[in-house]
Amino acid sequence: VAANLLGVAISPAMAADVSVGDDNTSVWSRQDAEKVTLTKENTAPKIDLEFDLVAPDLWVWDTWPLQNRDGSLAIINGYRVAFALVAPRDLGWGDRHTEARIGMFYSKNGKDWTYAGIPYDYDRALGYMQWAGTSMIDEDGKVHLFYTATGDRENWDYNGWDKRAVQRLAKTTFDISANKNGVHLTNEGKHEIILEADGKHYETIEQANSPIITAFRDPFFLQDPNTGKEYIIFEGQAGSNRDFIKPENIGDEEYRKTHSVPEGAELYNGNIGIAEVLDEDVSELKLLPPLLESVGTNHQLERPHVVVNGDDYYLFTISHTFTYAPGLTGPDGVYGFVGNSLFGDYKPMNESGLVIANPKENPYQAYSWMVLPDHQVISFINEPLDENGEVKFGGTFAPTLKLQLDGETSKVTKEGKHGEIKPFGANR
Ligand code: FRU
């Protein structure tokens, strides 16, 4: 009889089905995740409760900067540009997801951000709501905004929305200009769907059977600096051909002798998907098998993104305590995996995968971290606790952190002000 992380004994009778699969997808196993522990190297500093709101009328959460095609941060006529999910602050905190839109921000100094509104026409956009993505400016100065078109607008029904909120990867384009009055996006292009779940490598909404919402979302554009090839990386769930736990999802042979997997763990089937970009406009894509999966370990590998350091490929993702499979736990935080090519065999960083955690006494203070190419880490203030243990809802930029990467290990330090992006990048 094995004891899991929570100290609960699991009898073999409760164990889930384990069978053998056949792809090369890297694995974040239960054995890896069992090593997750908070240390001073991975714990983020506590966030001060006296924070200002970057856009006082709005909830602001998942944020991403405008990047050049090669991944470096774009500087447009001296301005940095960022996009973030926004919703009216008079909606309930929990209701913001269902009214999410993408807003634009710009800043001259990378510290003081001006909110410039929602740059697209909602009537032309796809999905009932627009969820996270990334943005890239190409050689001709076209801005490509990649996002998740979530919920079917025609058949929208708020009740039970999370079970029916189909997610597709979408994009549109803009021209961009900047003058003393700020940054402007004009000439909005058509909105188009660029990727949908195939049901084989990536679960469709019809196949979803987990207690937690299914994912096919959060597109991240990547140009591999070593090959020049381009990809979209995204959050998915294992599809119909992977509806089971393989031995390697559990751990090595020695570990498997003593570890039984609790029943229901197979319903936690997160993966990090990838598709190859076939054209200049990033509108034709070829879906490939996932880069990494956490079947039996964790349901959500959200907002995956890649930072390349020479020959080291760092695959980062964010995940939650509540999305760990039965028998496992870990903090809301950044998880990272390192490989020696984009399709390389990814190993969990710091042995467990944990890279940045919220502090133990403030477990939900921040979320949705994004590690930028120079290892600055942006995120948003989520649900920090005051001295009475009451939640103070954030919905604004969190202080920027800095990640030191050293092969398979990392260390987090405090770096900057709220939403600060220190000056690096390439002028256009
Ligand atoms: C992460 C996330 C994303 C999604 C968005 C929806 O915070 O769950 O995966 O796009 O929030 O609000």
User: Is the pLDDT reported for residue 196 higher than 70?
Assistant: yes
Q: What is the pLDDT of residue 243?
A: 79
Global ipTM: 0.95
The count of domains in the chain is 1
Look up residue 13 and give its DSSP letter. Answer: G
> What's the gap in Å between 132 CA and the centre of ligand 1?
6
**C-alpha–C-alpha distance, residues 340 and 345, integer Å:** 7
Mean pLDDT, rounded, for 319-341: 98
For 294-308, write each residue's pLDDT tens digit.
999 999 999 999 999
Pick the atom of ligand 1 nearest to 96's CA: 12
Beta strands in 6-109 (DSSP E): 9-10, 26-27, 58-68, 74-76, 79-88, 101-107
User: Is the pLDDT reported for residue 427 higher than 70?
Assistant: no
For 131-149, write each residue's pLDDT tens digit.
999 999 999 999 999 999 9
Backbone angles phi, psi at 358, to 5 degrees: -65, 150
Q: What is the pLDDT of residue 155?
A: 75
Q: Look up the domain containing 329 and give its range.
A: 2-427
Q: What is the SS3 assignment for 163? A: helix
Q: Taking Cα atoms as reference points, which of 97, 104, 103 lies closest to residue 127?
A: 97
Mutate to test the pocket of ligand 1, among 214, 220, 302 (most ligand atoms within 8 A of CB): 302
- CATH code for position 41: 2.115.10.20
Look up residue 250 and give its DSSP letter. Answer: H
Among residues 32, 62, 235, 248, the one annotated as catalytic is: 62
Among protein residues, the one with the nearest Cα to ligand 1's atom 7 is 368
Q: What is the mean pLDDT of the chain?
A: 92
Annotation says 302 is catalytic: yes
Q: What is the pLDDT of residue 424?
A: 60
Higher local confidence (pLDDT), 209 or 171: 171
Look up residue 174 and give its DSSP letter. Answer: E
**C-alpha–C-alpha distance, residues 383 and 177, integer Å:** 36
Q: Which of 147-151, 157-161, 278-282 has the lowest mean pLDDT?
A: 157-161
Tokens 């570890």 identify what position?
259
For 242-265, write each residue's pLDDT tens digit.
779 999 999 999 999 999 999 999
Q: Which residues line ligand 1 (CB under 6 A)?
A: 62, 85, 97, 100, 131-132, 148, 217-218, 235, 302-303, 367-368
